[in-house]
A and B are shown apart, each in its own frame.
Chain A
Amino acid sequence: MEFRAGDQLRNYHFKVSRMEVKLKHQRPRHLDLFKITQPLPAIVSIMHRISGVLLFFPGIPFLLYGLHMLLESPESFAAMQAVLQHPGLKLLLVFFVWFFLHHLCAGIRYLALDLHYGVELAQARASSKWVLAISVLLTLLAGVALW
C-alpha cells in the first residue's frame, strides 16, 4: 500500500470547498431586511423602537385627549364612553395597550441588561421570549377586561 498523502489533501480541499459552497449558499446574499431573519432580541429591540415612536405619536395626544374627556364634565365623560363602544376603536385601543406593554416589558429588560443581569446569549434570548410572551398575555387580559 502506497501512502496517498496527495489524495488525502485533495479530499480535504474538496470537503472545505464544499463547506464553503454550502456556507455561501446559507449566508444572506443581500441585506434586505425582509429576507434575512433577525434573532429574537433584535426583533424585540426594533419593536421597542417602533412602539416608542407610535406611543409618542399618536399615543401622547390620544392619551391627553382621553384624559381631557374623562375629567372635563359629565357630558364629555358620557361622550367618551359612547365613543369607546365602537368595536374598531376598542381594537385600536387594544393595539395601543400592546404597544405600551411591549415597550414597558422590553424597557424593564433593558434596565436589567444595563445592570449586567442576563447579558449571556442564552439568557438574553430567553428574556426576549419572555418579553414578547408577557406583553401579549397582559394585552389579552386587558382586551378581555375591555370587552
Chain B
Amino acid sequence: MVKHSSRIVTGAHYGLRDWLAQRITAVFMVVYVVVLAVLITISPPQDYAAWSGVFKHSWMRIATFLFFAALFWHAWVGVRNVLMDYVKPVAIRLTLQVLVIIALLVYLVWTAEILWS
C-alpha cells in the first residue's frame, strides 16, 4: 500500500513566495504613490515648512517607511531574478546578491534615519 504524503513533490515552490511578495508590495506601492500624488496635487507644499509638515504626522512617517520597506523587498526579488538570468558564475552571482542585500539593509536604516531625525 502506497502511503500518500501531503508534501507536493513537483518542485519545492520556492519561487511562489517571491512572486507573490513582488505583487503584493507592488500593489501597496501603487496605493501609496497614488495617494501621495493626489495629496500633493490638491495642495502643493511650497516651502520647507510645508514639506516637513507633510512628513511630521506619524501615520505619514509609518506609511512612507512601509513604502520603502516594500520597495526594497520588491527590488530584491527583481534584482535577484536579473542576476540569476545573466550572471552564471556562482561565486560572482553570490557576491553580487550579498552586496545587494547589504545595500538594501543600509537603505532601510537610512530611510528610518531620514524619517525620524
- Chain A residues in contact with chain B, CB under 8 A? 49, 52-53, 55-56, 60-61, 64, 67-68, 70-74, 77-78, 104, 107-108, 111, 114
Task: Give the interface size bracket for B toward A.
Answer: 20 to 34
Contact B26–A107 (Cβ < 8 Å): yes
B residues near A56, Cβ cutoff 8 Å = 75, 78-79
Can you report 10 A-B residue pairs in the complex whose CB atoms are below 8 A from each other? Answer: A55-B75, A56-B78, A60-B75, A67-B114, A68-B110, A71-B51, A71-B115, A107-B30, A108-B30, A111-B26
State in angstroms the CA–CA spacing of A49 and B68 once bound together. 20
State in angstroms the CA–CA spacing of A143 and B30 once bound together. 20
Majority SS at the chain B contact face: helix
Name the contact of B107 in the complex, choosing from A61, A72, A104, A107 (C-beta under 8 A).
Answer: A61
Contact B110–A64 (Cβ < 8 Å): yes
A residues near B71, Cβ cutoff 8 Å = 60
Q: Is B59 an interface residue (CB 8 A)?
A: no
Q: Is B111 an interface residue (CB 8 A)?
A: yes
Q: Which residue of B lies closest to A50 (CB)?
A: B82
B residues near A61, Cβ cutoff 8 Å = 107
Contact B82–A49 (Cβ < 8 Å): yes
B residues near A49, Cβ cutoff 8 Å = 82
B residues near A77, Cβ cutoff 8 Å = 47-48, 51
A residues near B75, Cβ cutoff 8 Å = 52, 55-56, 60
Q: What 0/1 readout, one digit per residue, does chain B (101-114) give for beta carbons within 8 Å of chain A?
A: 00000010011001
B60 → A minimal CB distance (Å): 11
Q: Which residue of B lies closest to A60 (CB)?
A: B107
Contact B82–A64 (Cβ < 8 Å): no
A51 → B minimal CB distance (Å): 10
A residues near B47, Cβ cutoff 8 Å = 77
Contact A71–B55 (Cβ < 8 Å): yes
Q: Which residue of B lies closest to A67 (CB)?
A: B114
B residues near A107, Cβ cutoff 8 Å = 26, 30
State in angstroms the CA–CA spacing of A72 and B55 once bound together. 11
